[in-house]
């Protein structure tokens, strides 16, 4: 992979999937990167004029790489969800939620609740079959066929892929979905999402 050079430093390039669908996230949108790692997607969306928030158990690298980001250090698998609206007690909502190379199924409902009405989910992670080419190999960390298609009734699937990529060799599943403003809204005039 190439490098994305920024004023701050050099980070790994954002996922090609994230880059391809970034046009659905408008400038000024609040973006949450779950398990943000070094901050490559935080940097990508900050450069596009978005307000970025990252959550991870280790935020040290992201702090130095993307100083403009709001970063929350949390163990999201063993502690309560850290981004809660104090007024409602519900998850804070964002215009876009980004997840790459991470899967923790007990968190999925919270992630969907974190998407504001009309917001976008950009998700890409390892899928069944990856155990034949490398890690992760445990079924707990691999999406099953069609799993991201079954997100929930208030999500509109814009794009979905499930298959093999190289290099590096890996099996992935990825989805772009938007949260419908109001129930039944998809039955009227459809929103046009540029492909």
In DSSP terms, 100 is beta-bridged to: 124
Mean pLDDT score, 180-184? 64
Q: What pLDDT does residue 193 have?
A: 74
HEC assignment per residue over the chain: CCEEECCCCEEECCCHHHHHHHHHCCCCCEEEEECCCCCHHHHHHHHCCCEEEEEECCCHHHHHHCCCCEEEECCCCCCCCCCECCCCCCECCEEEEEEECCCCHHHHHHHHHCEEEEEEEEEEEEECCHHHCCCCCCHHHCECCCHHHHCCCCEEEEEEEEEEECCCCEEEEEEEEEECCCCCHHHCCCCCCCC
Domains contained in the chain, CATH given: 12-161+170-182 (3.40.50.150)
Q: What pLDDT does residue 187 have?
A: 57
Q: Is the pLDDT of residue 118 over 80?
A: yes
Tokens of 187: 């039955």
- pLDDT tens-digit profile of 128-151? 999 999 999 999 999 999 999 998
Tokens of 74: 């949390």
- Confidence bin at 190 (pLDDT 50/70/90): low
pTM exceeds 0.85: yes
């Amino acid at each position: 992979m190439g490098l994305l050079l920024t004023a701050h430093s050099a980070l790994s390039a954002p996922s090609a999937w994230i880059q391809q669908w970034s046009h659905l996230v408008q400038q000024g949108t609040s973006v949450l990167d779950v398990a943000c790692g070094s901050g490559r997607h935080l940097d990508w969306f900050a450069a596009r004029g978005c307000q970025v928030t990252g959550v991870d158990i280790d935020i040290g690298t992201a702090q130095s790489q993307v100083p403009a980001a709001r970063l929350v250090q949390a163990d999201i698998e063993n502690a309560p969800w850290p981004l809660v609206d104090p007024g409602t007690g519900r998850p804070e909502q964002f215009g876009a939620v980004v997840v790459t190379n991470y899967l923790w199924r007990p968190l999925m409902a919270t992630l969907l609740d974190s998407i504001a009405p009309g917001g976008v989910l950009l998700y890409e992670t390892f899928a069944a079959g990856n155990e034949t080419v490398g890690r992760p190999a445990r079924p707990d960390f691999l999406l099953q066929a069609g799993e991201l298609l079954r997100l929930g009734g208030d999500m509109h699937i814009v794009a979905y892929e499930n298959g093999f990529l190289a290099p590096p060799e890996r099996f992935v599943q990825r989805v772009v979905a938007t949260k419908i403003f109001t129930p039944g809204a998809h039955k009227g005039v459809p929103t046009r999402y540029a492909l």
